[in-house]
Structure 1
Amino acid sequence: MAVVKGSQQDRLVIRHYEPGQRVRRFFYFWLTLIVIGAGGYFAGTYQSMETINTLTQQRDSFEGQLLQAERGIEEMTQRVKVLEKGGEVDRQATEGIRQTVRELKAQVSSLEEEVSFYKGIMAPSSGDKGLRVSKMDITTADGSHIDYSIVLTQVADNSSYISGLAAVNVIGQRQGEQVILPLRELDPEITELGIKFRFRYFQEVKGRLSLPDDFQPQKIQVVLQATGSKAQRVERTEEWPQPQGEA
């Protein structure tokens, strides 16, 4: 073949031609991709399973701890209830005993007062003889009424009856002035100036009175006037009891 000097020459390359090579390369390429994908998939799945197993174990452990805690709380709650119930029973029993003791003390005090009262009548001290005002009690019945009780006695010389009149007065202040109110102005059951009495050992005069709104009681006065062979005059004055809570 003639070659012209100075002209461009093309190189001829000779290669071995295999018709199935391209197909095999394409097949291997996709096979590699599939293997890598499958490997990644199984590796991820394995790792996920491991993670799930770990989390499941932790969950089971936490559930066990929670169950134990709930049981502990229930046990503690039951113990608290038992202790509270026991404490309430103890408090009720203690309060019941205290109330019983208070009632017994009140009964003993009342009995001692009665014994002293009767001893004073039957066996008085030296010089304590004749008509006496032994006791005056004033108690508030409600907001506007007051109960009173006055005990008259005949000490030592009680072989016969004694009779006469008892005058009861309430002394206090009204509009800055001292006022004496007789019982008949305070107790609707009393209509006479004096209350008649007749007894051998003792007699109780009692009732319910109402005080005027503008009247401030300060004292209660009892005047006894016996008649007949045992005629004598006895007077006793006591401070008006102040309501509870006042000095």
Structure 2
Amino acid sequence: MAVVKGSQQERLVIRQYRPWERFRRNLYLLLFIAAIGVGGYFGGVYDSMSSISDLTAERDSLQGSLQDAERTITTLTQRVGVLEKGGEVDRKATEGIRQTVKELKAQISTLEEEVAFYKGIMAPSADDKGLRISKIDLQPLETKGRYRYSIMLTQVADNSSYISGLAAVNFVGLQTTEKVILPLRDMDSSVTDLGVKFRFRYFQEVSGEIQLPDNFTPEQVQVVLQSTGSKAQRVEQTIDWPQAGEAS
């Protein structure tokens, strides 16, 4: 073909037509992202199951120690009954072992609660899923009218992603003769909003200390959880204020 001098020539590039190339690249990318997500989820499950296994083993060990201690108590009790003078040393030893048994039982009870807690998260019942208030605890402190509060929030079964929202805590009671509802920020100086923000995947503890106002007699504690996002949930729970000597 004749070329006109001074005219601009266009270059023709021939490429192989591969209509499935882009589709395969996108498919591989999606499979890679999915593999990372599945790996992260099962990694979290593995960590939780390892914690359950360790706590169960420690509980079993403490139960063995408890049985040995109870056998020792039985032996010492028999010795005390046989000895004419009673043996002050034996009595002190028996009392020490009784105290040890009491402490071991308390540790076993705590471990059993922790095992049940982790099992409840990883293997819940069919109706017990989603955002939950697992525990509301109030413990009196040495200062009059001062308490430590602890609220355990959990995301049961559906814990493949983080959940966030606001936890509102209210105290219902009588102030002089009038029934009132006081928010947490009126009793906990570290809280400035109407609620406490939360964000977690498996569980989160909301805790602090409160000082009851003068002339206020508490009757109930109300906790309201409101999560955000496409699967927003609202969870409410009310408990009676624990009486003296009780743990909620």
The residue number in structure 2 matching 1:210 is 211
1:38-92: per-residue Cα shift (whole Å, max 9, x none)? Answer: xxxxxxxxxxxxxxxxxxxxxxxxxxxxxxxxxxxxxxxxxxxx976x6221221
Q: CA deviation at 1:143?
A: 2.8
CA distance in structure 2 between the partners assigned to 1:219 and 1:131 by the alignment: 22
SS of the residue 2:87 aligns to: helix
2:12 is matched with which residue? none
Local SS of the residue matching 1:189? coil
What's 1:241 paired with? 242
Number of equivalent positions: 163
Alignment of 1:48-67 (within 5 A): none
Structure 1 equivalent of residue 233 of structure 2? 232
Aligned-pair RMSD on alpha carbons?
A: 1.6
In structure 2, distance between residues paired with 1:88 and 1:219: 49
For normalisation by structure 2, the TM-score amounts to 0.63
| Native 8 Å contact 1:162 1:230 kept in 2 | no
Alignment of structure 1 residues 1-247 onto 2, 5 Å:
87-144=87-144, 145-244=146-245
Looking at structure 2, the residues matched to 111 and 232 of structure 1 have their Cα atoms a distance apart, in angstroms, of 30
Q: What is the rounded CA distance, in whole Å, between the counterparts of 1:173 and 1:98 in structure 2?
A: 43
Structure 2: which 5+ residue stretches go unaligned? 1-82
* Runs of 5+ consecutive residues of structure 1 not aligned to the other structure: 1-81
SS of the equivalent of 1:160 reads coil
Runs of 4+ in 1 over 6 A off after TM superposition: none
CA distance in 2, matches of 1:188, 1:87: 55
Encode CA deviations 1:169-221: one digit per residue, 9 max, x unaligned: 11111122211110000001111111000000000010000001200001111
- 1:10-34 Cα distance to aligned partner (Å, 9 max, x none): xxxxxxxxxxxxxxxxxxxxxxxxx
- Supply the distance in 2 between the matched residues of 1:229 and 1:161 (Cα, whole angstroms): 12
User: What one-letter code is carried by the residue in structure 1 that aligns with 2:206?
Assistant: V
